[in-house]
Amino acid sequence: MFRVDRRFLVNFDWVLLTLLLLVCGMALLNLYSATFSLSTGMPLYIKQCYLLLMGVAGIVFIISFDYKELRLWNYFIYIAIIALLALVIFVGDSAKGAQRWIDLGFFQLQPSEPTKLMIIITLASYYARKEVVDGYSIKDLIVPILLMAIPFTLILVQPDLGTALMLVIIFISMTVFARLRWSSYMILGSTGIAMAVLGWSFVLKPYQKQRVETLLNPAQDTSGSGYQILQSKIAVGSGGWFGRGYMEGTQGHLHFLPERHTDFAFAVWSEEWGFSGCLFFLGIYFFMLAWGLHVAMSARDRFGLFLSFGVVALIFWQAVINLLMILGFLPVVGVPLPLFSYGGSSLLTTLLGMGILMSVRMRRFQSESTLEDCEG
């Protein structure tokens, strides 16, 4: 399983590693500024450093074996994650009206986070095994839809609408990338619209509906549901061109901005570094994602292609949703900015995804026959 090959070092993706370290370095700077005045026992930025080291260890583990073996472990990973999601319902810790975490003593595991990576591996395995010439029909999509629907339902009852919707977004992204028939687009589109209407009427809770209504008119309740969006927009706007300066932001340090180290971490960065600092960070961040697409396009097998694309899609859509949420263009749905927002489960999941990208890149010289040799 573990093989040492000097070509792995020659083909190691130093570009991706450099971009990853730059993003994580800026994230730690921002986290220190946002939380140094909080009384939380061990400082959160120290905890994040420990989690980052755990994530680096996870990357080393991932790149130590051939990513193609994930296809062999796919069923075990799927069952294990589903078991954890079910376990949360019975023994999970509750906070802010949601039951999403399992207390491991030294770490609060949120199983819905690694579920995102699990669904990527599952869909990549399915589309790699079942290749069609003229596009996937609805019949071909029954299995992946069911595989996605099970964890979607378990996450929705926690409730965690943001993460549940991320599974749907990952499914749509990877399925469209796999190429559908036009009839499939029409059926899925009409079904999606119908499900959205039914979801609004019968599934969404009152506070979730209120978030959407607040998006349309945040000024209607400036001290309640509209407070987060308004304070976030004030923080972003007050940064100007060059920002107020590191650790000089008023919205964050005077505690006007809620969740400033998690969902609204980028609002702190915007206030302190301004438009120029945001442009610099986002330039590096999205270049990292563009490089991830380059890794996907250079993959030597179909599984590596879908696996890499799924990881990039996961990070991209979470980043876009978080940034639009901070700017007031989307309701607050609790989606973090990957690698930047504080949160152990999210950070470890994203770093494991980056490890998968590195593994695909390192083994791009291998032929597709490697998997058959491994399975044999």
What does the domain layout of the chain look like in residue ranges?
6-375
Residues of the chain with pLDDT under 50: 1-2, 4, 368-376
Question: What is the pLDDT, as a whole number, of residue 213?
Answer: 66
Number of helices (H) and strands (E) in the chain: give both, helices first: 15, 3
Pair 151, 115: CB distance under 8 Å: yes
Per DSSP, 69 falls in state G
Q: Cα–Cα distance between 56 and 201 in angstroms, integer?
A: 44
Q: Cα–Cα distance between 335 and 321 in angstroms, integer?
A: 7
Question: What is the pLDDT, as a whole number, of residue 193?
Answer: 87
Nearest Cα to Cα of residue 58 among 274, 349, 364: 349
Pair 128, 306: CB distance under 8 Å: yes
Residues 31-47 have pLDDT tens digits of 998 887 766 667 888 88
Question: What is the pLDDT, as a whole number, of residue 1?
Answer: 45
Residues 185-237 have pLDDT tens digits of 888 888 888 888 887 776 777 766 776 666 566 555 555 556 777 888 888 88
Pair 272, 39: CB distance under 8 Å: no
β-strand partners of 109: 102
Per DSSP, 130 falls in state S
Could you tell me the two tokens for 189?
A: 């589109």
Q: DSSP letter string over 198-264?
A: HIIIIIS-HHHHHHHHHHH-GGGGTTTTTHHHHHHHHHHHHTTTT-S-TT--HHHHTT-STTTTTTT
Q: What angle do CA 121, 342, 170 make, to 5 degrees?
A: 25
Question: What is the pLDDT, as a whole number, of residue 94?
Answer: 67
Task: Map tokens 């499900």 to a residue.
Answer: 195
Q: Cα–Cα distance between 160 and 163 in angstroms, integer?
A: 6
β-strand partners of 176: none
H or E, element range at 28: helix 14-35
